């Protein structure tokens, strides 16, 4: 038997009639990575006969698609302007059921790391991410122990990670019969992030320009990935060394330093920390709480490898602050800048071997996706796009623990694990 056997593949359409027409996409939607974002949720069986019954999951998905009707549409193109948009036609999301005779949940959790193999096993295959294409693919895979992997791929033009978490929390509340607990309704007014009539680009935006030296996309796509947990005590000890820094900045500063050491970068080499900042609450006025779209912007800060490696981690955290402290005026400047470029064809091939891209999923409602049979035992990306990526997120079931999902060059990962463990050990003795 194959590792994962597909049983059914069909389309889940909205349970009720939904609004038709087109949804205009903002420059931040167009500038997002053009493709699907695959993630996985692991659910431990509770022994009930109806655990994660496919008909319940599919029926609740159909009801969730009523509120989140753009996800039942297709990526389209405005016939007049040629601008990419979402065509709300109610054609539905792809829904797949599968089973695995190989994996039990504990085996999978000990073996799992985001990679192409795991994505191919537990997330449905997706077409080229260009119009016309579906926006949501879902797969429910039952493991030999009765537990379930819920894999999904959502088109990044539709929304960012916070929007995806909003959708899954809503879907889960419907599935468990607790629709009243759903978060706020989604808002699809992407015009809230339209360019200003009088464009004013008041900042440089190097993150949206090609690197001076072209990135070898083939080499960058070869990576080793790992999931590393930091305990609540380790996080607290690290933050004590980084006064004034957020948890994300403190952790990223430590990862940045260890990555520079593991890569054996020359002391005078430039290393750049890229980040993605959610601007929902930073704009004036802020976006509605249920804003469903892309509201994140790329930022970065550079330093020499010597500064990152040799300075106290608190100093590196203060450098990281420069990549994570931009306000709403920065976002408005970026939107205006993107109005003057081809946002659909920005460089997206990866980053050079000296750099790091860090994304915060800390505080997102990733573990609120309880479909009626308990919270996920794990949630995370199914795939890393290239080497030099790190997600910082809450660990499952342990208040205050963090999970780092990391990709590095295969030759750098063993040394990173070593130096990162050494750094954590030093934190423990303070």
Give catalytic residues, as residue numbers: 156, 370
Residues 166 and 78: their CA atoms lie apart, in Å, by 27
Report the C-alpha gap between 313 and 31 in whole angstroms.
Answer: 32
CA distance 357 to 100: 34
Does residue 48 contact residue 225 with C-beta atoms inside 8 Å? Answer: no
| Tokens matching residue 226 | 């790992």
Nearest to 230 by CA among 239, 219, 222, 221: 239
339 within 8 A of 199, measured Cβ to Cβ: yes
Closest residue by Cα to residue 317 from 391, 239, 205: 239
Crossing angle of helices 247-262 and 232-240, rounded to 10°: 90
Provide CB contacts within 8 A for 307, sequence distance 6+: 315, 316, 319
**Cβ proximity of 280 and 295 under 8 Å:** yes
Q: What is the 3-state secondary structure (H, E, C) of 287-331?
A: CCCCECCCCEEEEEEEEEHHHHHHCCHHHHHHHHHCCCCCCHHHH
What residues form DSSP beta bridges with 225? 407
Distance CA 375, CA 44 (A): 9
Cα angle 334, 338, 343 (rounded to 5 degrees) comes to 135
Asked whether the beta carbons of 192 and 333 are under 8 A apart, the reply is no
The SS3 assignment for 1 reads coil
Closest CA to 169 of 395, 368, 373: 368
How buried is residue 182: exposed, middle or buried, by Cβ count under 10 Å (0-12/13-18/19+)? middle
Helices (H), 82-214: 105-111, 116-122, 161-175
User: In residues, how long is the chain?
Assistant: 430
């Amino acid at each position: 038997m194959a590792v994962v056997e597909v049983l059914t593949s069909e389309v889940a359409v909205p349970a009720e009639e939904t609004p038709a027409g087109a949804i205009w996409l903002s420059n931040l939607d167009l500038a997002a990575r053009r493709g699907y974002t695959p993630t996985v949720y692991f659910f431990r069986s509770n022994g009930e006969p109806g655990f994660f019954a496919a008909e319940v999951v599919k029926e609740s998905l159909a009801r969730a698609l009523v509120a989140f009707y753009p996800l039942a549409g297709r990526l389209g193109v405005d016939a007049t302007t040629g601008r990419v948009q979402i065509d709300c036609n109610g054609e539905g999301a792809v829904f797949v059921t599968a089973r695995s005779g190989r994996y039990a949940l504990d085996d999978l959790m000990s073996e799992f790391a985001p990679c192409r193999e795991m994505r191919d096993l537990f997330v449905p295959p997706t077409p080229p991410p260009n119009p016309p294409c579906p926006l949501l693919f879902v797969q429910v895979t039952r493991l030999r122990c009765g537990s379930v992997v819920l894999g999904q791929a959502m088109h990044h033009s539709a929304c960012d990670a916070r929007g995806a978490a909003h959708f899954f929390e809503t879907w889960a509340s419907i599935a468990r019969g607790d629709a009243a607990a759903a978060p706020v309704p989604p808002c699809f007014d992407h015009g809230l992030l339209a360019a200003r009539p009088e464009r004013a680009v008041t900042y440089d935006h190097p993150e949206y320009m090609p690197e001076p030296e072209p990135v070898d996309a083939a080499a960058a796509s070869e990576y080793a990935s790992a999931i590393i947990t930091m305990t609540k005590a380790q996080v607290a000890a690290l933050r004590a060394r980084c006064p004034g820094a957020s948890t994300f900045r403190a952790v990223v500063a430590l990862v940045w330093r260890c990555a520079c050491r593991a890569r054996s970068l020359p002391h005078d080499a430039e290393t750049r920390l890229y980040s993605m900042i959610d601007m929902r609450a930073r704009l004036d006025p802020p976006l509605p709480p249920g804003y469903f779209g892309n509201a994140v912007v790329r930022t970065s800060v550079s330093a020499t490898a010597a500064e990152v490696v040799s300075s106290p981690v608190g100093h590196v955290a203060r450098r990281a602050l420069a990549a994570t402290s931009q306000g709403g005026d920065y976002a408005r400047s970026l939107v205006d800048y993107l109005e003057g470029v081809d946002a659909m064809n920005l460089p997206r091939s990866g980053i050079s071997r000296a750099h790091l891209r860090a994304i915060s999923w800390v505080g997102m409602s990733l573990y609120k996706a309880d479909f009626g049979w308990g919270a996920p035992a794990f949630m995370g990306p199914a795939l890393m796009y290239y080497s030099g990526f790190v997600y910082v997120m809450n660990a499952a079931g342990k208040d205050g623990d963090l999970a780092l999902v990391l990709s590095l060059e295969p030759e750098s990962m063993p040394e990173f694990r070593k130096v990162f463990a050494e750094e954590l050990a030093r934190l423990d003795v303070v």
